[in-house]
């Protein structure tokens, strides 16, 4: 689920699906494999999460479409937030279901606040 969240945040910065998948995947896939996640699952979830980069604004394809079709880029960007969040939440739900079903490794909870 963290790799999906990282891809969503990076999509909001880069606007490119290829850059999103390459940058986040080069860090997250080896880390997931090291933590004993199956390699096919790691690659699949990262490639699916990387594709969110064209939906979450500022998206390069949205900008190109807005300029060529003379459509409001601001409206295109506003129209991409909710679908992008829904795609991300759906991928996180799917990864949770797969983790429970196939008994993927769990991380211990770390308490940030120590009182």
User: What would the mean pLDDT of 90-113 be, rounded to a whole number?
Assistant: 84
Closest C-alpha among 111, 95, 103, 101 to residue 49: 95
The percent of residues above 90 in pLDDT, for the chain, comes to 54
User: What would the mean pLDDT of 3-18 be, rounded to a whole number?
Assistant: 89
Per-residue confidence band for 115, with pLDDT thresholds at 50, 70 and 90: low
Q: What is the pLDDT of residues 11-50, one digit of tens each?
A: 888 888 888 889 999 999 999 999 989 999 999 999 999 9
pLDDT of residue 113: 65
pLDDT of residue 114: 61
Neighbours of 41 (CB within 10 A): 16
d(CA 32, CA 3): 9
User: What would the mean pLDDT of 74-103 be, rounded to a whole number?
Assistant: 92
């Amino acid at each position: 689920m963290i790799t999906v969240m990282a891809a969503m945040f990076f999509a909001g910065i880069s606007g490119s699906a290829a850059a999103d998948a390459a940058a986040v995947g080069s860090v997250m896939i080896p880390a997931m494999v090291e933590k004993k996640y199956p390699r096919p699952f790691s690659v699949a979830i990262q490639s699916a999460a990387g594709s969110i980069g064209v939906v979450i604004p500022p998206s390069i394809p949205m900008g190109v479409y807005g300029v060529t079709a003379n459509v409001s880029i601001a409206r295109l960007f506003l129209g991409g937030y909710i679908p992008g969040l829904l795609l991300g939440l759906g991928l996180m739900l799917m990864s949770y279901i797969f983790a429970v079903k196939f008994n993927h490794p769990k991380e211990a909870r770390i308490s940030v606040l120590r009182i």
